[in-house]
Amino acid sequence: MGLYYLQDAASQLPALVLNPAPHSLVLDMAASPGGKTTQLAALMHNTGTIIALDVHAGRLSSLKNNLERIGVRNTITYKKDARFCTDLKTTFDHILLDAPCSGNFCVEPRFFEEKTLQGITERSKLQKELFKAAVRVLKPGGSLVYSTCSLEPEEDELVVDWALRKYPELEIVDIDLSVGDRAACVVSGSTLSPKPPMPGDSGLTRQAPRGFSSQNLSAPP
Ligand SMILES: C[S@@+](CC[C@H](N)C(=O)[O-])C[C@H]1O[C@@H](n2cnc3c(N)ncnc32)[C@H](O)[C@@H]1O
């Protein structure tokens, strides 16, 4: 048992960036096994409500076990494809889209043997579909964090770039953390986003809905 959850340092950043207010309504779109959900609940002092989704039943069990073990009381879990989160018929103050991704070649020894360009393209398409759904259920003035553990621009910078072009009401906001570097604004020779981050920016936000990225950028379909 125990009341803590081990996460590496980078994995802790998305929830810290989102920093949901106590008593707010939060959507965690791809939540299992729950490292970030438990962190969000802690930041909210177990108040408000987190709706935590995951499409895979087996992984949802891990999420439920972790929530119970840590003593999280403000979270409702659903086995659900988050592309259809408008079915929930509500909008959210804060959304975490910790998207399914191709993983990180720095820590996966067989990454280049097991991953394909086609897989990365498919993941990028899914990430954009999830992003579209997130924008639909984000309250005006709400905040959205998009994160992955992938280092592929197609899953990161290019997804965010695509979103900023598609949704002019979104804006990048400063991330007020003492760690991290400015996101890349040039990928394969192309300058990304209508409003490239300024020196010192390290994420995205958006205005009427606000949004952020803790890692990403991408190109239109
Ligand atoms: C990067 S992991 C999430 C890690 C989690 N946020 C954490 O901190 O423990 C991505 C998750 O997305 C889930 N997933 C994949 N496609 C999904 C979809 N369409 N809707 C909801 N969840 C999905 C996977 O089952 C997986 O658990």
Please name the residue whose Cα sits nearest to atom 10 of ligand 1.
Answer: 100
Nearest residue to 127 (alpha-carbon basis) of 175, 161, 104, 94: 161
CB of 30 closer than 6 angstroms to any ligand 1 atom? yes
Contacts of 154 (CB under 8 A, 6+ apart): 120, 121, 123, 124, 218, 219
pLDDT tops 60 at residue 58: yes
Whether 67 lines ligand 1, by a CB cut-off of 6 Å, is: no
Q: Is 20 in the pocket of ligand 1 (CB under 6 A)?
A: no
Query: Does the structure show a pLDDT above 90 at 180?
Result: no
- 10-213, CATH topology level: Rossmann fold (3.40.50)
Ligand 1 pocket test: which of 32, 80, 151 has the largest number of ligand atoms within 8 Å of its C-beta? 32
Beta-strand relationship, 138-147 and 212-213: parallel
Higher pLDDT, 185 or 170: 170
3-state DSSP helix/strand/coil % of the chain, to nearest 5: 35, 20, 50
Q: How large is the average pLDDT for residues 93-102?
A: 97
**55 or 151, higher pLDDT:** 55
pLDDT at 191: 81
Q: What are the sequence ranges of the domains in the chain?
A: 10-213
DSSP helix/strand/coil, 17: helix
| Whole-number pLDDT of residue 195 | 56
CA-nearest residue, atom 17 of ligand 1? 55
- pLDDT-above-70 percentage for the chain: 86
The arithmetic mean of pLDDT across residues 75-91, rounded, is 98
pLDDT at 96 over 60: yes
- Is residue 203 within 8 Å of residue 173, measured between CB atoms? yes
pLDDT score for 189:
82
Annotated catalytic residue 185: no
Q: 189 CA distance to ligand 1 centroid (A)?
A: 31
